[in-house]
Each structure stands twice: as C-alpha cells, then as structure tokens.
Structure 1
Amino acid sequence: MASNMESSINRGCDFIFDFSCFTCQENDRNKEAEFYCEECSKFYCNKCVEHHNYLYKKHAILGKENISQWPETDVVELEQCQEHRKEKLTIFCEDHSQILCHVCHVHNHQKCSHVVLIADKVKVLHKKGDFKELLARFDAQHQQLIHKQRDLDENMKSLEKSYKTILEEINALRKTINDSLDELEKNTKKELDTFLVNTRTYVQNDVKNCTKSIKNIACLKDDWLRTKDKSEALSFIMYTKCHDHSLKVEAVLQEMRTQDERTLTFNPDTTIQQTLSALTGLGRIFSTVKQVKPAKGSTQSTVTRHNNSKASSHSDPDSDQTTPGFNINKSNKTSSLSRQHSPGNQKSDPTKSGQVSDPVSSSSYQLVKGYQPGAVSKSDQILRVKNGKNYSVKISKDNCPSIITGICYTATGELIIIDNGNCKVMLLDQTYKVVAHCHFLYQPWSMCSIDSSLVAVTVNRPEVHFIRVSNGQLIKDRILPLKHTCYGIAHQHGNLYITDGRALYHYTLDGRLVSKMYEDTSHQWIVTSCAVSPDGDRIYVTKEDSKQLVTLSRDGTVISTLTVRGLCSLGAACAGLHVTDSGQVLVCGYSTGIIYQVDRDGRQILAEMVTKNDIVTRPISIYYSKHTRSIIVGMQCIDNIIVFKEQ
C-alpha cells in the first residue's frame, strides 16, 4: 500500500499525484505534497509548509517518513471504474449525476443529452470558482466542528461540576433536615420528661398524704381503745380527737376521689409524615438547553422536564421563567419538613382535616435558634432592610389624620395606598408623591392586585370596588355586590379571599361563592386581614381578639396558630399582613412597632425585620415591592409612609 501511495503516474507533461499540495491547488498549480498537518487535515509541499509553520507553530506536521499515518487515499484506485475495472473514469453524465468510463457511456448513457468529459467539467468548476468555494466551506465546517467539540468538552466538564455541587447541596439539605428532626425529637422528649416530673410530684404528694393519714389514724385508734375504759372524760376527749381527724381524712379522701387519674399519652403530629409521603424528592432539578440558531446567531433557552410523576396541574408563579424537572410534591417552590424548612413547592396539603391548632407553634413569640438562610426554602429566607425614610402622603384638603390600611403594587409597578381615615385611595409616583386619588362614600379597608392595572378594594359595606390605573389616573371600574361586609381581601390566580370579621370566604372573580373556609363567631371583629401564598397553598388570616396568625391549607384545614405580640388591637384597623412574591410572610406588631417575618407554615417567627429602633408607630399595613426592592409600611393616624430599602 505504501509503495502504491508513494508512486505517481506520469501522463505527458501533467502529473497525477497521490497527494497534492492543498495551497497550490487553490492557486491552480499542481505540485506533490511532502507534508501533512493533522490539525488542518491538509497536505503541503516544501514551500507552502513554511508559510503554514509560520502561522501555526503548534500544529503537528507529518513528513513522508510518516506517510503511513497520512490518510489512505489512492488516486489511481479512485479513478478506476468499479464495474469495468480496467477502465478509468473520464466522463460525467449530468442527467444522472454519475461518473462514468467510456464503456459505461456506450452501454448505458448514449441517449443522455448532457454528457461531458471530466476534464472539461473540472475546467468549468475552476473557472466558476466552485472548487475554491467547496474547499472554503469544508475548511469553515472543519473549524466549526473543532470549536463545537471544544464547547462540548467544556459543557461536559461543567455538567460534572454542577452534578457534584448539587450532590453536596442535597447532602447539606439532608443533614439540615436530620438536624431539625433531631431537634424536634429532643424538644418532644424534654416535654415528656417535664410532664413525668410534674405528674410524679403530684402522685408522690398524694402517696405521702395517704401514708401520713394512715399513721395518724392507727395511733389515734390505739390511744382511744387504750383509754376508753379508764374514765368517761378521757374517753370523750379521745372520741372528739378521732372524730375531728376523721372529718379531715374524709375531706382528703373526697378530694382524691374527685381527682382524675393521671396518665401520660402521646399524640403524634402527622404533618411531617404526611408531608414526606407527598414528596417526590428533596428539590427540583432543572435542565436548560440553549438551541443555537446559526442563521441569526441567536440562542433560545428551553427547559427539559426529567420527572413529573407527581406534578400538579396548579399553576406555578415562576412557570414563565423555568419549568421544574423534578417536583418536591404538589406545591409552590420549596419543601417543608420541619419548622426550619417550609414548603415552597407543595400543591397539596398534608394535614388532616379539621381546625386543630398546633400546640408547639401556638407559643407566643418564638425566634428560630441558629437560623441559617441558606438552609431553608426561598419563602423563609429572611428579608433584611436598611434604615427607613418617611414620605408624606397627606393632601391639603384632608380633614382627618391618615390611616393607611392598605398598600398595593400593580403588576406594572404603580403604587396605590388606602387612606381609611379620609375615605380615599391614592396613586403614588416613583418618588412616593401623591399624583391621583379617588374618594369613597364608605371607609375602604383593604386592597389587592387583580391584573396589570386593576385592583380590588373592600369597603365597610357588602361590596368590593374595582379600580383601574389608566394614564396616571384612578378610574372606578365596577362594583361586586356580596352578602356580607368586607374587610380583608387577597387574590391569587382568579381566586378571591375575603373576610367579614367573623369568617374567611373563597370567591371567584365574578362573585360566585366557592366556600366558607374558616370561621370564628366568638366576636364580631375577629377574622380581619387575610393573605395568600404565591402558589395558593397557604392562606393566612389574623384573629385580632387573641392576636393570632392562623395558617390554612388550600382546603381550609388549619395548619397552625401562632400568637404574635402586638398584633393589631380591636377596633383599630385590619392587622398588617402581607405575603411577598417569593412567599415570605410579614406581620405588623401594632402596639410593639415591630415588623415580624413568619415562616411559611405560620409556626414561628423567623426574625424582627423592623424593630423599635426604626421608629415605626402603630403599623397597620405593609408591602414588599419587587420593583424597588423595598418594604413600605403604613401607620395609623400618621400622615407618612415609611420606606425601608432591602439590604
């Protein structure tokens, strides 16, 4: 083979080389190649290789001594007709796009109208520049393939790196969950030990009293029997002592009979187990593919869903950005396995039906010990703010102090607030200056965003007013009549949640009652404010008589009840309650002047975002703006709002 490759055929003054110089061919010269470049996949003669080596110093060059490593190309064999082995291919039939020998031409292609000699065809191609164009295209494609291979190699390295990183995150999350479960177990056993000590003390005291009484009765009885025959006076005295002691013993026995038997029982919290059974994993895995469009040089991102065996049909607030490839369970963005891990991606409620308070979470004001934002879901990441700045919202015609009971941003970024004290709704610009307002005949209480420019406002009447922002003005759109007074209001994906002071109702946007989700009839002004998580899996209501935040599942099941110090007093206004677009729960401490952040399941207070040092007085409304990355606080009988920028 090597001898064949090294040979060439002399045909007159033209030579057909086994390997011809690529550069010379480009310039219509015919010269034998002496070198081959593996990087360029091209052959070069002695002169052209010098230019190549000057431009590409790191390319590996193979000379004739390494011709066995050159590509196996046999020009003579390539020119041979496969059907008529002794004949050379010299003719091209354009009608059939076939290369022929003269025998093929005579036998099969004599009737073809477009048959030309290969030599003539080559001259035409050279003249038109087709050879150069094809070689240039090959060269470009070759370079593209090299770059693509490098990109794929880098992509593979990146995939391996991200795989290891995700494994570390999964292991860290599992450790955090284990630590949380260990802490729960520790707390539960500590509570059991406390109950045992207290119960044992009560029982031991009763045993001690019984022993003492038994001893006294035996002594008195012996003394009475020993002295009853000695004298009547002595016998009567002993009788009197025994009678008095008998009355005391009877009282003790009566008290013991009325006391219930002391026992210890364990009522397990099934929330964790039911939550785990609803999960498909510890998190969601996303796989993003960038599709390159060569014609325009642009890219388009798509996302592949790897596993969706338990995916829910409920809409995801982030579905317009990414699509989850692996759902935690049937909810929003994150998962709740303990008090330090609230679910953000669950679409189903794991709790039992029935309004049952959580005995642990109902404790008053409990900060998370050792709280680490990186170890929890996005909904429980603590918001931190800088010092606040006051902005006046008073209008010269206002007759009463402002009572800012509602704050809301439209989807397009317009800020609207409610001044309950002056019965109006106001539109603010980016500098928090009032630019428009509209009055109401009755006091407006609460507000929520419906679409890009529409908000819903509750008034102290059985109706909801819809207001639209248009060209910097507030325009009253329509009125939705209901059968009860309206105070708190929240909206999520076409679902309206409205309170009337005693109950929380679920409506559609057209006013159709879906259900009464929660009720407390112990007072006329109890269930006031309400809010809903971005995925709709958690609904929050405030009970202002007991200063409690109640967290409900989608079907109205009570998940937890948390006491919050300073929650709005009766008759003051609706308690300040807000859920951010990321699911963080914010609550105003009316009498304490503190803004609290509560975990997603409403089981405990995570942090004091705004403290007494921030000089907030009687806060009754709050809103986090993703447009300005700031928290806006409204107060009672103060003509200002306070804006805190996020750190």
Structure 2
Amino acid sequence: MSKWPLTKNVEDFLQKCDIHKENKLEMLCQDHSQLCCTKCVLLQHRECTSVTLISERFQDQPNDLQQLFDKVNTIREELNKLHSFREGSIQSVEVSYTERLQEIREVRQKLNAALDALEKTTLKELDDLRTSLKTQLHTDLENCNKLMEDLNKLSEAVLELCGKNNPDMSFIANRKGMDKIKQSEGFLKENWVKVASTLSFQDNTYIEQYLFKHLVLGKIVQRAQSLTALGNPNQVLNVKQTKEYDIGIPNDSETTSNIIGICVISCDKLIVADGSCQMVNLLDNHYKVISHCDVRVSGDICQISASEVAVTAAEGKTYGIQFISLHSGKLLKGRRLELRHLCDGIAHHDGHLYVTSRSALYKYSLTGELEKKLYEDLSGGITVGQCAVSPTGDKIYVTDYNRHQLLTLSRDGTLLSTFTDHELQNSLGVHVTPAGQVLVCGYSSNTIIQVDEEGKRKLGTIAKQKDGLNGPVSVCSNSATNSVIVGQYYQTKIIVLEV
C-alpha cells in the first residue's frame, strides 16, 4: 500500500492553499515559517529573503508523521470536548431563559395593568441578550466544526501518507498539520478561558413602592463561570470545613427525620425529602425549615424548573411522582403522576424523568408517558437504587445497593462501566454537580466518595465517619454556597461540607 498513489481528495486537501484555495502550496517562507502558494509569495512574501521551493529544499528531509498523527488526535479530542460544552451552553441559555421568564411572570402577577409597558421592556432586554449569547456560541461552534473537519482530513491524509515514499507531500502534511494544530491550540486557548453564560433575573424588591421610577421589572444578569472549572468533571472537591445543622421541625421532636432526598431550587433554596416524617421541607439560608407540605415520600427528589420539584411517592400500593411548586416562599402540591411500579430514585434532564424501581430504570416524559425501560436487574434486592444524570445527558449513574456498586449507563441504557471500592459499602444516594463531578453515598461505610466522569475510578473520599457521617443516604451540591449537603438515615441533622 505504501506504493499506491495518494487519493485525489487527500492530495487536494494537502496541497490547497488555505488563503487562495484555487492555488497549490509549492513553497516555504522560512522568514515567516509559512507554506505558500505563488499568490501568497506575490502578495505577502515578496520581500522575504528565504522562500524555497518545497520540491528542491525538502526532498530528503524526514517527517515524523506518527507524532503529527498523535498530536492531531489529541487536539481533535480537545475540540470535541469544547464542542460538547458549547452545545451544553446553548441548552443552558435556553433553560435559564425559561426559568427567568417564569420568575418575571411571578413578579408581574403582583403588579397591576400599569406594568405592561415595563414587562415589554424587560423581556426585550432578555431576548436581546439571549440572541447575543446564542449568536456568539453558534459562531464558536462553527469555528470548532471547521477546525475539526480540517483535522479529520489531515488525520486521514497522514494515515495515507504513512509508509509512502512521498517526501513532498509528507513535508506539506507536516507543515500544514503544525499550522492547523497551532490554529486549533490558539482557538482552544481562547475559548477555554471564556465563560459559560446563563441568564438570571434579579427582581427589584422596592418596585411596588417606586413603580414609576423604574424602566424595567428587574435586572437581567448574565451569570458567568469559567469553563476551566465548569468543564472539569474530574476536579477533586476539597472539603474546607464541616458543619452540622438540625433541620427538625419544632414540636415534632418525637419523630426522627430520614433525609432521603435533597435538591436545590430557585434562588438557591434547599428542599429536602423526609421519608420518616413523610413531608417535603423548604430550608432557608440558615438551614431552618420555613415551609413544608405532607407527602408520602418513598425515595428521592429532583428539580424540574426554577420553582418546581418532583418527588417519588407511595400511598399503599399506589406509586407515583408528586410535583411540588414554590410560590411566594411556600411549598404547594401540584399534579401527580401515577406509575405502575414502585418509585424510588428520580432525576430530571432535558424534559425527561428518570425513575428507578429498585430493580429497573425507566425513562418518562414530564406528562408521565413511558418512553423506555433503560435498564433492569432482577437478581433480587435493591439492584437499581438512586440515579443521577450527567450535565450533557450522555451518562446515567445508578447505585446498586446489594453489590456495593456504582453503574454508569449510556443515554440508551447500555452498561458502560461498573465501579466498586472498599469505601463504598451499600451505595445509595448519587449526585452529579453542575461541573459533572460524581458523588456517591456509602451507607454502611459512612462515606461520600467522588468518582471520575466515566464511573471507573475513585478520585477521592470527600467525607468519612470522622467528619460526622452516620449512614449517609442522600447528597447534593449547592454551587451558590460552594457546599455539599448530606442527608443521613434517621438523623435529624444534615452535614454541610464547605468545598
């Protein structure tokens, strides 16, 4: 095969000048270290002192194509990661737009008809910022796609050149490859330091008193978080301080709480599902209960929107999902979905509910329509316990209590990996942070461990029994307070780990 000629597509790709696409690369300007066509030389390198024909100067010069091939693949992987995060950023803008729009509507309900003009102004500002953000993100995606396409072609060309005695083309491939790598590295360097943008709405609490002194309902804020932090799911969390908070309701001292589910909702408020007291509680910033509603909690809780959560529930042998909304600082029960199986773990991603039955994982729509049974293990016991979904939705993490395991599934339910560790005994709660960091509760080992995004290796032990853990069953992160909150089996106190 080494004696076969290059295909026309490879030859055209390697020889074509990136600037003057109708011309072929024939020379090298050593003053600028650039491959040139005749038009490049005429327009940009006329005064350069060292412009050499490739065929004359580099006929016998060796080129390390394997090293080039490896470098191209490394850069291509980085571009793929950036591409995924940019796609996720677009989705994040849309989700936050919807959530902020709901907040705007809630503020609007408190005001009279005179707010119509203010609402229009505010929504226009929101729309303009969304359009601006999406335009920039789409531009980044297009540039990323172009670089990936060029690197793919270059990779194919290098593979075809390997083993062939074609020094001219090898040299061109090498120089062109280094140029493409330099472009890609510059693009990656520029984009990784950019921020991942979302939208938020800060309502003006004095607007009712000074209604006609303001032009908008509130301020649209672009929340910014560095991609170096947001995009590193394998960054190990380091605990700086550990605190305990008693979240028991006064006059209810006879019953010990069992915090089997925790999630963060709008304005970074914390909502906990108490399986012992059979209620869902809203906590303030000091971890005190400020509102609650009675629910026959059977398992976990997850956020649906900026003001709504869903909790698995059971009434006798009737199983389902109870939706609860936050309105004016109060928890209100909403609609309920009846399901035909036991409901334990629950997670929400991109308009889909992931529900476990202790032996299977199901995917539902928000209206309760069964879309697919993703995974099942009927070997007995709690083999499919709690679940969590990665920020991009490509991985689903499930705990196997019986086998002390964490399972990682693809979005279609294919088993990708199985993780075990001596510090993970009777795995229960599992949580994925906004950055993609995976946290798992070891109930019997009294541990919270962090696992890599692939679900294959332990990155660290976040907390142990010496930190106050005693039967951890649920875990959740709060990026607003840089903390990890842990619920425990029949414990009124929760553990807050500051990271």
- Give the alignment's TM-score, normalised by structure 2: 0.56
- Do the aligned partners of 1:564 and 1:589 also contact (CA within 8 Å) in 2? no
Q: For the structure 1 residues 567 and 478, does the alpha-carbon distance in structure 2 shift closer, same or farther, using more than 3 Å as the test?
A: farther
CA distance in 2, matches of 1:486, 1:375: 34
Residue pair 1:418, 1:444 contacting (<8 A) in 2 also: no
Identity in percent: 40
- Between the aligned partners of 2:422 and 2:346, the Cα distance in structure 1 is 23
Letter aligned with residue 482 of structure 1: L
Instruction: Report the CA distance shift for 1:559/1:474 in structure 2 as closer, same or farther (over 3 A).
Output: same
CA 1:376 to 1:604, structure 2 compared with 1: closer, same or farther past 3 Å? farther
Match of 2:298 in 1: 444
Cα distance in 2 for partners of 1:523, 1:380 equals 33
Which consecutive unaligned segments of at least 5 residues does structure 1 have?
Answer: 1-174, 179-274, 288-298, 312-324, 328-332, 335-373
Deviations 1:207-248 (A, max 9, x none): xxxxxxxxxxxxxxxxxxxxxxxxxxxxxxxxxxxxxxxxxx
**What residue in structure 2 maps to residue 393 of structure 1?**
247
* Structure with greater proportional strand content: 2
Matched, 1:502 2:359: yes
> Does 1 or 2 have the higher relative contact order (CA < 8 Å, sep 6+)?
2
Aligned to 2:416: 559
Partner amino acid for 1:284?
L
Note if 1:536 corresponds to 2:334.
no
Q: Cα 1:470–1:604, aligned 2, differ >3 Å: closer, same or farther? A: same
Moved more, 465-474 or 300-309: 300-309
Q: Which structure 2 residues correspond to residues 34-53 of structure 1 after superposition, within 5 A?
A: none
Partners in 1 of 2:322 and 2:81 — Cα distance? 41
SS in 2 for 1:445: strand
What does 1:594-613 align with in structure 2 at a 5 Å threshold? Answer: 594-613=447-466
Deviation string, structure 1 residues 247-301 (Cα, Å, up to 9, x no partner): xxxxxxxxxxxxxxxxxxxxxxxxxxxx9999584653899xxxxxxxxxxx977
Contact 2:275 2:299 in 1 (8 A): yes
Alignment of 1:174-323 (within 5 A): 279=77, 281=79, 283-284=81-82, 303=136, 304-305=139-140, 306-308=143-145
- Structure 1 residues 427, 375: closer, same or farther in 2, change over 3 A? closer
State the partner residue of 1:575: 428
The offset of 1:589, in angstroms, is 1.5
Do the aligned partners of 2:424 and 2:449 also contact (CA within 8 Å) in 1? no
The separation in 1 between residues aligned to 2:282 and 2:425, in whole angstroms, is 25
How far 1:308 moved relative to its partner?
A: 2.3
User: How far off its partner does 1:397 sit?
Assistant: 2.1
Q: 1:309 deviation in Å?
A: 5.9
Q: Does 1:492 align with 2:349?
A: yes
Written as runs of structure 1 = structure 2, the 5 A alignment for 1:369-380 is 378-380=232-234
**Equivalent residue of 2:413, what SS?**
coil
* Match status 1:403 vs 2:258: yes
Query: Aligned residue pairs: how many?
Result: 303
Q: How far apart, in 2, do the equivalents of 1:386 and 1:591 lie?
A: 24
Q: What is the CA deviation profile of residues 193-220 of structure 1, one whole-angstrom value per residue up to 9, with x for unaligned ones?
A: xxxxxxxxxxxxxxxxxxxxxxxxxxxx
SS in 2 for 1:401: coil
Q: Is the 8 A contact 1:391 1:432 kept in 2?
A: yes
Quick one: which of 479, 488, 492 aligns to 1:635?
488
**Counterpart-to-counterpart distance in 2, 1:310 and 1:394:** 56
CA distance in 1, matches of 2:444, 2:330: 35
Quick one: which of 421, 443, 455 aligns to 2:309?
Answer: 455
Question: 1:411, 1:449 within 8 Å by CA — same for their partners in 2?
Answer: no
Q: Which of 459, 470, 482 is the matching residue for 2:339?
A: 482
Distance in 2 (alpha carbons) for counterparts of 1:379 and 1:587: 14
Shift of 1:617: 1.0
Q: Does 1:425 align with 2:223?
A: no
Cα-to-partner distance string for 1:491-548 (whole Å, 9 max, x where unaligned): 0110110000110001111111111111000114321100000110000111111011
* 1:590 to 2:439 alignment: no
Question: 364, 381, 402: which is aligned to 2:235?
Answer: 381
Distance (whole Å) between structure 1 residues aligned to residue 147 and residue 354 of structure 2: 27
RMSD of aligned alpha carbons: 3.4
Equivalent position SS for 1:634: strand
- Aligned-partner residue type, residue 551 of structure 1: T
Deviations 1:45-73 (A, max 9, x none): xxxxxxxxxxxxxxxxxxxxxxxxxxxxx
Question: Are 2:353 and 2:366, in contact at CA under 8 Å, matched by a contact in 1?
Answer: yes
Letter of the aligned partner of 1:560 in structure 2?
A: S
Question: Is the CA contact (8 Å cut-off) linking 1:568 and 1:576 kept in structure 2?
Answer: no
| Structure 1 counterpart of 2:82, one-letter code | R
Counterpart code for 1:509 = L
Report the CA distance shift for 1:560/1:642 in structure 2 as closer, same or farther (over 3 A): same
Q: Secondary structure at the match of 2:267?
A: coil
Letter in 2 for 1:308: N
TM alignment of 1:2-13, pairs within 5 A: none
- Structure 1's 510 and 625: CA in aligned 2 closer, same or farther, altered over 3 A? same
Structure 2, unmatched stretches of 5+, are 1-66, 87-128, 149-182, 186-190, 193-227
Structure of higher CA gyration radius: 1
Q: Could you tell me which amino acid in structure 2 is paired with residue 457 of structure 1? A: V
Q: Deviations over 1:64-85 (max 9, x none)?
A: xxxxxxxxxxxxxxxxxxxxxx
SS of the residue aligned with 1:412?
Answer: helix
Contact between 1:548 and 1:567, CA under 8 Å: does it hold in 2? yes
Gap change, CA 1:579 and 1:280, over 3 Å in 2: closer
Change (3 A) 1:565 1:582: same
CA distance in 2 between partners of 1:309 and 1:590 (Å) = 48
Residues 645, 277 of structure 1: alpha-carbon distance in 2 compared, 3 angstrom cutoff: closer
Q: Which amino acid aligns with 1:522?
A: S
- 1:378 partner SS: coil
Q: Could you say which residue in structure 2 is the equivalent of 1:511? A: 368
Matched position secondary structure for 1:521:
coil
Matched, 1:469 2:306: no
Deviation at 1:411, TM superposition (A): 3.5
Distance 1:645 1:495 in 2: 31
Is residue 378 of structure 2 the alignment partner of residue 521 of structure 1?
Answer: yes
Q: Would you say the 8 A contact 1:387–1:614 is kept in 2?
A: no
Judged with a 3 Å threshold, the aligned counterparts in structure 2 of structure 1 residues 501 and 282 are, in CA distance, closer, same or farther, namely closer
User: Closer, same or farther in 2 for the Cα pair 1:277/1:523, shift >3 Å?
Assistant: farther
Q: CA deviation at 1:612?
A: 3.2
Structure 1 length normalisation: TM-score?
0.43
1:557 to partner: Cα distance: 1.1
For residue 566 of structure 1, report the CA deviation from its aligned partner. 5.4
- Shift of the 281–473 alpha-carbon distance from structure 1 to 2, 3 Å rule, reads closer
Report deviation, 1:559. Answer: 0.8
Any idea what SS the aligned residue of 1:576 has? Answer: strand
CA deviation map 1:587-616 (0-9, x unaligned): 111122221000001001100111333121
Q: How does 1:120-135 map to 2 (within 5 A)?
A: none
The one-letter code sitting in structure 2 at the alignment partner of 1:447 is I
Counterpart in the other structure of 1:57: none
